Amino acid sequence: MSNAAPWQSHLKPGETLVWSAEASPKLRKAEIARRRWLAVLLALVSLTLAFGFGWKLYETIVTPQATADLGAAIASPIYGMIGLTFLIVFLAQLTRLNPRLTPATQYAATSTRILAADDTGAITDEIDAHDIAGFILGGRRSAPDLFALRSHDDLNVKTFAIEHIESPLEAKAVLEHQFLEQPT
């Protein structure tokens, strides 16, 4: 458990802090780098394919035999559409070169809820204990993230994510003990 002082202003009367963690800057930077490299790779592949289909379109329109060839007349719009599609994918990947992560960098569990806060200490998300149906690990195998599943089946409500922390397995054990195990 890390320092409890930043969370004191967010605690309700009678609440006690049982767990807290901060997102690892190293894991956050690695996630940004991973997303950026994936975008670069997809951009290069889609640009290559767009150029290839653009070249085939050029060949079917410009070559002298293309004007008399029925197959070229049928294929040219197809080449154009596929080339344009890959060009759009390329442009979309350019917008993903500067990925943004969730603003939450600090997480805490109290006796009644789980909180997420940004760098300034402002609460970005929270989930009450009675809304928690379970916890799962997901994402990358080397550095998984922890997700608190909500008890209702509304697909429009997002899960509560605890991302980029150093020890998600330990956090999962603490949170399951606090919120899922029934007192005897």
Secondary structure of residue 16 in the 3-state scheme: coil
- What is the average pLDDT across 63-83? 78
pLDDT for residue 11: 86
Is 172 within 8 Å of 146 (Cβ atoms)?
Answer: yes
Q: Is the pLDDT of residue 105 over 80?
A: yes
- What is the average pLDDT across 79-90? 96
Output the DSSP codes for 77-123: HHHHHHHHHHHHHHHHHHHTSS----S--EEEEESSEEEEE-TTS-E
At 66, the pLDDT band (50, 70, 90 cuts) reads: low
pLDDT for residue 65: 63
Mean pLDDT of the chain: 87
Q: Is the pLDDT of residue 10 over 70?
A: yes
**pLDDT tens sequence across 111-120:** 899 999 998 8
Write down the architecture of domain 5-23+104-179 according to CATH: Roll (2.30)
Q: Where are the domains of the chain?
A: 5-23+104-179, 31-95
**pTM recorded for the entire structure:** 0.75
pLDDT for residue 182: 63
Q: What token pair was written down for 162?
A: 């605890």
Only one residue has tokens 């994918």, namely: 89
Secondary structure of residue 166 in the 3-state scheme: coil
